[in-house]
Structure 1
Amino acid sequence: MRVRVVLVEPEHDGNIGLVARSMKNFGFNDLWLINPKVNLGLEAKALASKAQDLLSNVKVVENLEDALEDCDYVVATTATVGRSPSNLNRAHVTLREFSRKIYRLNTKVAVLFGRESRGLTNDEISRCDLVVHIPTDPAYKTLNMAAAASITLYEISVARQTQGKFEYASWKMRQRLLNVFEELSKEVGLPPHRIRLAKKALRNVISRGPSSRREVSLILGTLRRATDKLKTR
């Protein structure tokens, strides 16, 4: 399993340095920054310690799509846990559950860490396959970005040592499936609000467990054929 660490609009260069150091500790080297609010200054370099090479090779992009384009599975980290059973946004799992879930994947996984001040937006979370939270004391739930990254990378490093091989459907492939499903839903006359709910439900289903490339390809082909058939009636 290959892991990309993505920091969304980081606000303190020291945290970037600490994340780089944790990545080096646990054997990761793919660090991306989305629209950072600070430059990599002396504090980042000092706190990175012997992970200076990661800072030198960091990728900086303007938006989420650029950071995730070649990734297969996308994970959001958050301190907020959804509790309503009627909420079709992302299901939340603990970090330990996540590590058990992905141990088989032989693929590229992007892990997103949000802004220090307000985390990830709902829109950003909606584009991810899974939301992971680290259980903490309810009296003070929020972890510092660098601490959250360090704990997360440790758990992933343990899971990575036991991984098997699994040809996973890429993030882009699953997005195509969702788009074709939406197109088909419009063709059969579903109202917009039902389409939105159904699309969220399908996204949750295909993200709940590892979906193989073959499985998604078969479903995608079937939906495309049905859509084309309806268009030519």
Structure 2
Amino acid sequence: MAGTDREKQLIQEGPAIILVEPQLGENIGMVARAMANFGLVDLRLVNPRDGWPNERALAAASKADHVIDRVTVFDTLAEAIGDLNYVIATTARQRDGFKPVRGPVEAGRILRQRFQAGQHNGILFGRERFGLDNDEIALADEIVTFPVNPAFASLNIAQAVLLMSYEWMKTGLEDETHTAFSGPIVEPAPKSALQGLFDHLEEALSVRGYFRPAAKKPKMVDNLRAVLTRPGYSLLEINLLRGVVSSLDYFSPKQPRGTAYPDRKAAADAKAHPGAAGSGEDVTDD
């Protein structure tokens, strides 16, 4: 399956995810998938409407079997959180009371700190239709709410779990900007290679009358070099561009590469490799 790697360590830790009276098996499965994405594994269901196990949940979990297989079911919320030291409740609505309200970033950091201190923690999510009631919020230590559009604040339960799971995972990184993989390390090409590209392109454009009027050529050359300097090309990239310019400069539809050896190509090769034997296309500067 795309994005999975069975040779790497499977992270299985962190706070419990508690769903109160979830209705759709598909939502439970998508919650399990979101948890697996970010290393969570403890999924607890309070009185699921369609019972448990649920085939639709298994299908929607998309191979997050290690989460689905460990699901525990409880009759009441009090039982589901009985072994936890700290619980935060997610809600999109302002509530009466005196519980602290956190954003997801701060809540994720608090959960990590408590986890590192050896505590067992949980994140509480409500029903698809109307979330958590006040009695259920009262069982939590604090509230977490997301910075969403105030006129359209309702989140799908799997989306809400995904957001909190992401914040949890992020707090465990040495650098919060770290990614799972990175692009190649590109070493900038030496200036001599870049200068060779400049010279080649300028000559090719001059032959074709690009620099018009002639009085504007210096400024046009400066602009062209500014554009080509900005990306910080590697040597491999410059060689690629030189090959493109060579094909456009030396060859034509009537004399495509591989069928002829134009005079301009021969002259360029002789200039680049003085004293080289022969005048075949095996001697190139690109």
TM-score, reference length from structure 2: 0.52
- Aligned-CA RMSD value: 1.7
Which sections of structure 1, spanning at least 5 residues, go unmatched? Answer: 163-233
| Greater share of residues in helix | 1
Letter in structure 2 aligned against 1:152 = M
Pair 1:51-2:60 in alignment? no
Pair 1:97-2:110 in alignment? no
- Residues 98-117 of structure 1 aligned to structure 2 (within 5 Å): 98-105=107-114, 106=116, 107-117=119-129
- Helix, strand or coil for the counterpart of 2:15? strand
**Separation of aligned partners in 2, 1:115 and 1:90:** 21
Q: 1:19 aligns with which of 26, 31, 41?
A: 31
| Greater share of residues in strand | 1
Give the equivalent residue in structure 2 for 1:144: 156
**Alignment deviations for residues 175-223 of structure 1 (CA, whole Å, 9 cap, x no partner):** xxxxxxxxxxxxxxxxxxxxxxxxxxxxxxxxxxxxxxxxxxxxxxxxx
Which sections of structure 2, spanning at least 5 residues, go unmatched? Answer: 1-12, 175-286
**Alignment deviations for residues 49-88 of structure 1 (CA, whole Å, 9 cap, x no partner):** 1112321221001011211111110110001134xxxx53
The change in CA–CA distance for 1:19 and 1:62 in structure 2 (over 3 A counts) is: same
Q: How many residues align?
A: 158
Give the equivalent residue in structure 1 for 2:136: 124
TM-score, reference length from structure 1: 0.64
Pair 1:66-2:75 in alignment? no
Percent identity between matched residues is: 38
Q: Post-superposition shift, 1:19? A: 0.5
Give the equivalent residue in structure 2 for 1:192: none
Retained in 1: the 8 A contact 2:47–2:75? yes
Q: Post-superposition shift, 1:100? A: 3.1
- Helix, strand or coil for the counterpart of 2:89? strand
Retained in 2: the 8 A contact 1:81–1:92? no
**Separation of aligned partners in 1, 2:78 and 2:151:** 35
- Residues 131-170 of structure 1 aligned to structure 2 (within 5 Å): 131-161=143-173
Q: Post-superposition shift, 1:159? A: 1.7
Structure showing greater radius of gyration is: 2
Letter in structure 1 aligned against 2:74 = V
Higher relative contact order (CA 8 A, sep 6+): 1
Pair 1:28-2:40 in alignment? yes
- Helix, strand or coil for the counterpart of 2:44? strand
Retained in 2: the 8 A contact 1:90–1:125? no
Letter in structure 2 aligned against 1:125 = I
**Separation of aligned partners in 1, 2:109 and 2:172:** 10
